[in-house]
Amino acid sequence: MDICYSCGGDIAVIKDRPYHYDECGLKVIIHGITQYDCLACGETYASIPNTQRLHLLIGSHICEKRKALLRPDEILFLRKDLHLRAKELAKILGASPQAVSRWENGKKPIGETHDRLLRALYMMYASEQANHVICQGALDIFSELPAKSERKTITETEEIVLNPQEWLSDTGDCCSI
């Protein structure tokens, strides 16, 4: 990129600034992304390579979270990355489409069983896509998930921070780093 797409102004290339990947709907901070700032109008651009792998990694981080059940934004991310409509995910999980909508809009927390099932489904999907086990330790993760009585608030948010070596190499085993 040489000039600004908006105004044609000069561009500064920035390599060392963490990128807040708000487009994915979650708090994700990525290191190693080249960014471009327009010196004239202030517009900023980012070049994000290998978004498929990036999304698999974000999904895996979500599935490996142990302290709390899945939040609405996390459920939505996993469903979108599975390329499923709410109705389709509902059928797969044995839930009603209304239940899936309520989990995603925060009106009702996901239950423990559906939480585990959705994680397991995504872990299998991610591993298939990546052609290797991308998310490990399911038994440990699931055994450390809170029960209903100790459930944390679903609004609790947590940042996911990704480093380049985690997702820019095709051979790297992401989640063991």
How many angstroms separate the first and last alpha carbons of the chain? 32
Beta strand spans in 27-148 (E) = 28-30, 34-38, 44-47
Smallest distance, Å, CB 14 to Zn ion? 15
Smallest distance, Å, CB 43 to Zn ion? 5
Give the residue with the Cβ less far from Zn ion, 12 or 161. 12
- The number of beta carbons lying within 10 Å of the beta carbon of residue 7 is 13
Give the residue with the Cβ less far from Zn ion, 34 or 101. 34
Give the residue with the Cβ less far from Zn ion, 6 or 47. 6
- The number of beta carbons lying within 10 Å of the beta carbon of residue 90 is 20
Q: Which residues have CB under 8 Å from 156's CB, separation 6+? A: 68, 71
Smallest distance, Å, CB 49 to Zn ion? 23
Give the residue with the Cβ less far from Zn ion, 9 or 25. 9
Instruction: Please give the Cα distance from 98 to 78 (Å, whole number).
Output: 17
Smallest distance, Å, CB 5 to Zn ion? 8
Give the distance from CA 132 to its chain's centroid.
18
Is the distance from CB of 155 to CB of 133 less than 8 angstroms?
Answer: no
Strands 28-30 and 160-162, bridge-based pairing: parallel
Smallest distance, Å, CB 146 to Zn ion? 48
Give the residue with the Cβ less far from Zn ion, 43 or 64. 43
Residues near Zn ion (CB under 5 A) are 4, 6-7, 9, 38, 40-41, 43
DSSP one-letter code for 67: S
